[in-house]
Structure 1
Amino acid sequence: MEPQLQTVFLVEDAPFFRKMLGDYLRDLGFEEVVELPSGRAALKHMETAACPDLVCLDLTLPDISGYDLCEHIRKSPTMKDVPVLVVSARDLPEDKAHAEEAGANGYLGKPFTQEEFTRRVQQVLKDYGPPRRTP
């Protein structure tokens, strides 16, 4: 049996994309989609929140770069193993390489279809988590 998808942190500054991705993630079965409009909001939320099953992260944020936020997640004792999927309009090979160096588990360039997003999320979850929960 598949583990229940509980929580995803969605870090995206563009309201249109945040709503669209939030809807896609709810369609995938996530019970809680925490929509965070900036890197600072994400850092503040991560200080007190329970560990999510996935982080979806834009690279171009108004305050802290997605690369820096991803590195912060990888250094966090509680979040270091959480799968991170970068979803970004920055789609050059060097952007993907930099995201991978920062610790991202997957990368999806904008624009994309809901099917492409679903496949990428499922692949990242299959390959990197979430850990099986015991009842």
Structure 2
Amino acid sequence: MESDLHTVLLVEDAPFFRKMLGDYLRDMGFKEVVELPSGRAALKHMETAARPDLVCLDLTLPDISGYDLCEHIRRSATMADVPVLVVSARDLPEDKAHAEEAGANGYLGKPFTQEEFTRRVQSLLKSTGARRAP
């Protein structure tokens, strides 16, 4: 894992998946994993927080859809180029296409193994050049 990757914004409403993905990301060497349960909490966090190195988000959130949240990130001046990985149980081709249209850089359908998740995150970060000095 790149030592200059620090922060992940993890938006997942299911407590079990949020904790599991947070653990996976910490195992990969991310220093800070901000775990949020809803789209509104993510929007509020993004107003004041430093720019993350990666956003992992679920499509099915209790308030704002993951698609809408991804579109918001793409419209944000400070976050437009942050890589977004959608992690969702919605695994139909049209879900993937819609996520791509919303600006997601990658898509991982549930269920998956820790190895699959790690590979997808590493591949996404490499392909988007998401490495920068702290």
**Residue equivalent to 2:83:** 83
Q: Secondary structure at the match of 1:60?
A: coil
CA distance in 1, matches of 2:131, 2:81: 9
What displacement does 1:131 show?
A: 3.5
Partner amino acid, structure 1, of 2:26: R
Over aligned residue pairs, what C-alpha RMSD do you find? 1.3
1:85-104 alignment, distance < 5 Å: 85-104=85-104
**Residue equivalent to 2:6:** 6
TM-score (normalised: structure 2): 0.97
**Residue equivalent to 2:59:** 59
Q: Which runs of 5+ in 2 are unaligned?
A: none
Aligned residue pairs total 134
What displacement does 1:2 show?
A: 3.9
**Residue equivalent to 1:127:** 127
CA distance in 1, matches of 2:90, 2:37: 18
What displacement does 1:130 show?
A: 1.6
Partner amino acid, structure 1, of 2:42: A
**Residue equivalent to 1:36:** 36
Partner amino acid, structure 2, of 1:5: L
TM-score (normalised: structure 1): 0.96
CA distance in 1, matches of 2:122, 2:77: 24
**Residue equivalent to 1:70:** 70
Q: Which runs of 5+ in 1 are unaligned?
A: none
Partner amino acid, structure 2, of 1:107: Y
CA distance in 2, matches of 1:131, 1:73: 18
**Residue equivalent to 2:24:** 24
CA distance in 2, matches of 1:10, 1:115: 18
CA distance in 2, matches of 1:75, 1:124: 20
What displacement does 1:42 show?
A: 0.1
